[in-house]
Structure 1
Amino acid sequence: MTESNKNLIKIDEKDIEKHYTTAMNLINRFNYSNKDSASDSSASSFSMTSSLSNNTLVELNKSILNVTPNDALASESQHKVIHALRRALSVSTAINEQYTNFSGLSDLEEKIKRNQYLTDEEKTRRSEMSKTLTIIGTHVIASYIVHALGAHTTTSNIEAQTYTIDVSSNLNALYSMLNGLNENVKNQAKSDEVLINVVVDYFEKVISNNQRHVEGLKHLSAYESNTFFIEKDKFEVHGFDKISKNATKKVQMKRVEPHEVVGNAIAKQHCLKIVKKLLCYDFERKMNPFVEIGGFPFTILGDGKPGTGKTTLIQMTSTLLSDYCERLGLPYYYENFSTDNISEYQGKSAQNAKAFINNVMNPDCLGFGTIDDIDQIAGKRGDSKSSAGQQEVTAVLMESFAGAKTIVRGNCIFGMFTNHAENMDPALRQRAITRFLIDGPKTKEDFADLFYILSKNKTEIPYGDNEPLSTQEIQTAVQESYEQHNKPQEPQLLEVYEATVKQLGHEFESFEDVAIYCDNVLSVYPDFSGRSVANIASSALGRASDADLPEEWFEERSVFIDKSYEEKLEMIKSYVKKLEISLILQEFNAYMDSEFRSKNKSDNEEVNERVRQARLNEKASLLLQKEREAENNQ
């Protein structure tokens, strides 16, 4: 029936298609008896915003076709909805069968069929498993619909009404859920465009409301320890994670062109390179050739002083991705995780962080997820100043960026940006594969260009002797910026570097030479680890694979995007450079400069805090002494 690979369960098509007839019969018609009053909220924890009659003949297929009553044939949109519903019901049944077998519920049901006695313990277990099965079934149906139809939604102000779902049994949940959908289609869907919007919105609300039942469920391991995968639809179910719409999201963000980013040559170079690397993702294979080649920058960290251009770089990167994807017809999703996602309720911040990760990692679109001011969002573990919500976010990000279940497909990149990298949890900071310092404008040309851009052509003040923005071309600045990392910038690391060169008696030539450098760094920086080496190596590979891919590849789909994975891989390989020792050293120094910079700032802050606390203690002691002297003199 299935093919198992560790936690991956692939559902065979025949195990889905065998349920088509039953599913279609249900979509055509069924009798629904709503025993509970519409205003009785005790029937379910779901909210109720509309009332239903007690006995209803639900003809969902007919309601969908009646969206265009003057046309006897189903429109393309109606066909998509009906097909998705039939498929969703069948997929849900197939996954429920998997849970029934894995959990042992099937054995208990078999005993009942044979009229065998169930012990009290078995009766309790059967009841608990049946409840879990109901919530799983509801989640899978709703998730599949959002997955299948999400890409076809449009911007709309119409929202689906929310109806009570009776979770007392799997069948009751199914009937009440489809009945609520039927009412929405009849009352809200006045056109094909609105039909899909209403259907997707309805099931998104079902997913959200269904989460309320998850807490307290028992016997979940048979479901949550597995990932269920439908090859034909590229549909994955991971526990009760929320599925995001596979829609190209038109990002509402200030447009920033590359030449408008002043200074920050290396940071700008990185951002431009990752845009083209993302575009190489193969939607059929669900893999990016750059992951196979090595050096795909799954996580990046940009740190620098306030006002040096972090937000501008985010806007530039998103502008480029959005423009490319719109031109090539590729789905693109952008999301920023902000302090608004930190909740005072236990577990809610972690839930928000997981939703953010899942939205961006959706394998059916290109994703760009940013966490601006991450030092304010993800707290240090064990730090009394960090809230519980912040530490929840830290745990989720660490697990998602480099955890046992992390799968890097090369369809998304997460960017962490901060003014104070020293305030990040060190383990989270070390999960950033690629790092760059965002130092903003530094030369007189940079500052002149900044004035020129900010004046917005509303002045007649002459620029000067040079051409405006001429020095912001990346090729003229980036090589010099990289060469700055031939030697470390941080004094303590520079001492280690120079001592290593002296110890070797020559410049770096081999991996063993670099290993001696690592050993010397470890003696002054105990947090240096295998992960540090992996990140440095990955970043160096990324530099080697930072090929200047031809712009023509991304002008028309037929030139590159529509090629097979193997063809894309060979085309890219022809542009990839060999890994040189100079690249490894530059990335080593850039990475460790960032670590030492953060460590030194953190140490200075701790020293200052201890000095402040010592002074407070001294003042308190003097005040206490004066009070005691005053008491003795009375």
Structure 2
Amino acid sequence: MNAPRDEMELKEEAIREHYAAAANLLSGLDHTPRLAKAEAVAAPSERSPGIGTRPRFRSTTPGLVTRSTARPEGVRLIERIEAVGGDDPITSPAQAAVMQSLRRALAIALAVGEMFSAQTGLSELKKANLEGRLPDARRAEFSELLAAEALVTLSVFANATAFLLAPHATEQTVEIGTVEEVLTDNAQLALHGALWELDQDIAVFGTDEARMVASVLAYAEQLTENVRLRAETAPRLGAFTGANYRIEADDFPIAGFAPSRKARGTALVMAFKKPEEVVGNHIAKYQAMRLAKMLMAYDFERKLNPFAELGGFIFTFMGDGKPGTGKTTLIQMMAGLLDGYCRVAEYPFRYQNLSIENVDSYQGKSGQNAKAFIRNVMDPAVIGFGTIDDIDQIAGKRGDRQSSAGQQEITAVLMESFSGANTVVRGNCSFGMFSNYPENVDDALRQRAGARFLVDGPQTREDYIDILALLLGKNHSIPLGDHDLYAAQEIKRAVAESFERHSRPLEDGLENVFDRVRDEIGELDTMAKLGTYLKAIQAADERFTGRAIKNITDAVKVRAMDFELPDEWMEEPELFLFKDYETKKAMIGELRRPITVEMVVQEINRYADSEFRYADKSDEAAIENAVREMRRMEEAKRRYLEGKAP
């Protein structure tokens, strides 16, 4: 990726020249805290007798003589990081990621500080001061430039740390309080103070690796904001704020004191589909389109989506249907919509698919792959869309002897992530599970899908004409005939008709329950009658539990949000996306519809239909397997008896 024309590239060689100095800073330095008070113990002691500590880094700023009468404290960040998580002598991936990110961030900060010093003439003033020939008339300028360089160096260090470490963030968060040891005498002292306070925060808050990463990120964000506020009134910063830089290797932009995006999206290589290219599947298409716009309402400052607070947000959904009915096309459509919306708003978008390749033969590796997938999609600094295609092959049924240990690990991770004690639904991401054989998915995992998308493909004569015309393209002269092309795909009309079909159940087993209950108590028009219907469904299918009721009520709330966010809100972000959280919430609240009995009955039938459909298929598959096994035993018995005959 080449830097835009208004950005200057910071050469990699200039950064790597500072790797040794950055490593020394992390290995050991002495610092006397001036503004903050120590809350943690000193740097970790030696790991074992005979192994000395790393040398402490005592640097001097050219042209300056620094004195301190207080007792300095040793800061050894590498040892502090290595001590997190126990006595394991092998550095873990998380520890390595933190150390590498900090070294890289320090090197970038030193390189930018050096560039700033050269551009402003500070380098010459340092040299003159060192040689004792700095004119008195320029001492005030010298002090102001030193303070400016300190602010620049601190800002770049904090910004780069947050940017580089963001891909390793988890759902864990830490509140570290206000950053205090922000010194602006000179750049070197400023970094010493920053590393001293970071060491303190890791010691106090970084009790495990996840909290250590969270502590470093929290510190970097707090330092960025503190420095930005100071820079608003500081002089002589024009050389830094007037130019934009980019580090090509990291794709890291530096635009003054503004924080860079704390997370990066993924460059999608996918054949996107437009909504009109999805024929049939009206409800699934409509809900996917609405969900894409719902995700865009996420507020990066509050780390919350108004839809998640008001109700009606689809965090997980199950898309099922026969092979060839359009599940992949639906994924391509939704990913394409999100990618386009995020490009307009300049939001980071991340799409990931958990595939059969993530099932590993090594114990624990499949679970790690699934956790990494969940963590990347749920990253609160991105808009995320995660898919699990052919989930019946990837996640095994508990108790199924044919499921591998890796498949069982993935099932456990998905169940905990989708509806576990620590699951936080912020509204920045959604997960779609797709299967041709949902009856083979673990019952408890399947019920963690809050919404059901029946992907049944083209159904009507009009659908088949539309899909034929679409796939043939334009390289023919065959007349269309008596048909209004794509009129049947007009989404609002098609969806209304599709929902109306669920006023009665579609599955035979559920239809019997529905008719029996209505014969006994009449129309389902009160809470009591609706509850009676739900209990009758549970009596017919014991898997219809309280979680099913929650999924139904969530689906009803989605129907209450049954409105399209205007396309212009996505095309012109200032109209909605860039509004503050409370304004967006109020704008959405004005569009919300009241819940009706018809909505509730339709959503009960839609959900229960899917469960009866899965149960019928599962039972039929079990019967077929039993019959096949009986036939095998009969054949084996016949051959055995024939072999014993004289």
**Structure 2 length normalisation: TM-score?**
0.68
> Match of 1:450?
467
Is residue 194 from structure 1 mapped to residue 211 from structure 2 by the alignment?
Answer: no
Is residue 370 from structure 1 mapped to residue 424 from structure 2 by the alignment?
Answer: no
1:165-564 map, 5 Å: 192-194=246-248, 196-197=250-251, 246-504=263-521, 506-564=522-580
**Contact 2:206 2:212 survives alignment (8 Å):** no
Is residue 603 from structure 1 mapped to residue 609 from structure 2 by the alignment?
Answer: no
> Match of 1:616?
632
> Match of 2:609?
593
> Take 1:425 and 1:608, find their aligned partners in 2: how far apart are those partners?
19
> Take 1:449 and 1:344, find their aligned partners in 2: how far apart are those partners?
45
> Match of 1:576?
592
What is the CA deviation profile of residues 147-169 of structure 1, one whole-angstrom value per residue up to 9, with x for unaligned ones?
A: 999xxxxxxxxxxxxxxxxxxxx
> Take 1:246 and 1:465, find their aligned partners in 2: how far apart are those partners?
52
Q: How many residues matched?
A: 485
**Contact 1:378 1:393 survives alignment (8 Å):** yes
> Take 1:364 and 1:566, find their aligned partners in 2: how far apart are those partners?
19
What is the CA deviation profile of residues 328-356 of structure 1, one whole-angstrom value per residue up to 9, with x for unaligned ones?
A: 22221111111111111111111111111
Deviation at 1:387, TM superposition (A): 0.8
> Match of 1:218?
none
Secondary structure of 1:370 counterpart: strand
Identical positions, percent: 41
Question: CA, structure 1 residues 251+477, in 2 after alignment: closer, same or farther (shift >3 Å)?
Answer: same
Question: CA, structure 1 residues 143+289, in 2 after alignment: closer, same or farther (shift >3 Å)?
Answer: closer
Question: CA, structure 1 residues 43+426, in 2 after alignment: closer, same or farther (shift >3 Å)?
Answer: closer
**Contact 1:265 1:474 survives alignment (8 Å):** yes
Secondary structure of 1:386 counterpart: coil
> Match of 2:234?
none
> Match of 1:83?
158
Deviation at 1:476, TM superposition (A): 2.5
> Take 1:571 and 1:547, find their aligned partners in 2: how far apart are those partners?
12
Secondary structure of 2:510 counterpart: helix
> Take 2:200 and 2:419, find their aligned partners in 1: how far apart are those partners?
33
Question: CA, structure 1 residues 495+136, in 2 after alignment: closer, same or farther (shift >3 Å)?
Answer: closer
Question: CA, structure 1 residues 511+625, in 2 after alignment: closer, same or farther (shift >3 Å)?
Answer: same
Deviation at 1:547, TM superposition (A): 1.7
Question: CA, structure 1 residues 591+140, in 2 after alignment: closer, same or farther (shift >3 Å)?
Answer: closer
Secondary structure of 2:369 counterpart: helix
Secondary structure of 1:432 counterpart: coil
Gaps of 5+ in 2: 1-32, 44-55, 61-73, 79-87, 94-104, 123-148, 162-190, 224-244
- Aligned residue identity for 2:536: N
Secondary structure of 2:502 counterpart: helix
Secondary structure of 2:432 counterpart: strand
> Take 2:558 and 2:211, find their aligned partners in 1: how far apart are those partners?
43
> Take 2:483 and 2:538, find their aligned partners in 1: how far apart are those partners?
47
> Take 1:561 and 1:607, find their aligned partners in 2: how far apart are those partners?
53
Question: CA, structure 1 residues 193+456, in 2 after alignment: closer, same or farther (shift >3 Å)?
Answer: farther
What is the CA deviation profile of residues 123-176 of structure 1, one whole-angstrom value per residue up to 9, with x for unaligned ones?
A: xxxxxxxxx7xx679756886799999xxxxxxxxxxxxxxxxxxxxxxxxxxx
> Take 1:297 and 1:460, find their aligned partners in 2: how far apart are those partners?
44
Question: CA, structure 1 residues 542+46, in 2 after alignment: closer, same or farther (shift >3 Å)?
Answer: closer
> Take 1:532 and 1:436, find their aligned partners in 2: how far apart are those partners?
15
Question: CA, structure 1 residues 507+196, in 2 after alignment: closer, same or farther (shift >3 Å)?
Answer: same
Secondary structure of 1:404 counterpart: coil
**Contact 1:89 1:141 survives alignment (8 Å):** no
> Match of 2:9?
none
Question: CA, structure 1 residues 611+571, in 2 after alignment: closer, same or farther (shift >3 Å)?
Answer: same
**Contact 2:205 2:215 survives alignment (8 Å):** no
> Take 1:306 and 1:16, find their aligned partners in 2: how far apart are those partners?
66
Deviation at 1:271, TM superposition (A): 0.5
> Take 1:194 and 1:299, find their aligned partners in 2: how far apart are those partners?
36
Secondary structure of 1:558 counterpart: helix
**Contact 1:363 1:409 survives alignment (8 Å):** yes
> Take 1:137 and 1:413, find their aligned partners in 2: how far apart are those partners?
25
- Aligned residue identity for 1:429: R
**Contact 2:75 2:196 survives alignment (8 Å):** no
- Aligned residue identity for 1:96: A
Secondary structure of 1:408 counterpart: coil
Question: CA, structure 1 residues 99+193, in 2 after alignment: closer, same or farther (shift >3 Å)?
Answer: closer
- Aligned residue identity for 2:643: E
Question: CA, structure 1 residues 628+91, in 2 after alignment: closer, same or farther (shift >3 Å)?
Answer: farther
> Take 1:27 and 1:588, find their aligned partners in 2: how far apart are those partners?
70
Deviation at 1:561, TM superposition (A): 1.6
Q: CA RMSD in A?
A: 3.9
Deviation at 1:26, TM superposition (A): 6.7
Deviation at 1:98, TM superposition (A): 3.2
What is the CA deviation profile of residues 12-60 of structure 1, one whole-angstrom value per residue up to 9, with x for unaligned ones?
A: xx9997689x99x97978999x9xxxxxxx995689xxxxxxxxxx994
**Contact 1:493 1:593 survives alignment (8 Å):** yes
Deviation at 1:465, TM superposition (A): 2.5
Deviation at 1:375, TM superposition (A): 0.7
> Take 1:16 and 1:617, find their aligned partners in 2: how far apart are those partners?
83
Secondary structure of 1:574 counterpart: helix
> Take 1:15 and 1:379, find their aligned partners in 2: how far apart are those partners?
58
What is the CA deviation profile of residues 301-359 of structure 1, one whole-angstrom value per residue up to 9, with x for unaligned ones?
A: 11000000000001001111111111122221111111111111111111111111111
Question: CA, structure 1 residues 31+79, in 2 after alignment: closer, same or farther (shift >3 Å)?
Answer: closer
**Contact 1:318 1:334 survives alignment (8 Å):** yes
> Match of 1:53?
none
Question: CA, structure 1 residues 46+68, in 2 after alignment: closer, same or farther (shift >3 Å)?
Answer: farther
> Match of 2:203?
96
Question: Bigger radius of gyration, 1 or 2?
Answer: 2
**Contact 2:279 2:489 survives alignment (8 Å):** yes
**Contact 1:304 1:419 survives alignment (8 Å):** yes
**Structure 1 length normalisation: TM-score?**
0.69
**Contact 2:158 2:220 survives alignment (8 Å):** no
- Aligned residue identity for 1:465: D
Deviation at 1:393, TM superposition (A): 0.6
> Take 1:45 and 1:94, find their aligned partners in 2: how far apart are those partners?
20
Question: CA, structure 1 residues 142+372, in 2 after alignment: closer, same or farther (shift >3 Å)?
Answer: farther
> Take 2:631 and 2:214, find their aligned partners in 1: how far apart are those partners?
60
**Contact 2:113 2:152 survives alignment (8 Å):** no
Question: CA, structure 1 residues 459+284, in 2 after alignment: closer, same or farther (shift >3 Å)?
Answer: same
**Contact 2:386 2:431 survives alignment (8 Å):** yes
**Contact 1:147 1:245 survives alignment (8 Å):** no
**Contact 1:375 1:424 survives alignment (8 Å):** yes
Question: CA, structure 1 residues 450+67, in 2 after alignment: closer, same or farther (shift >3 Å)?
Answer: farther
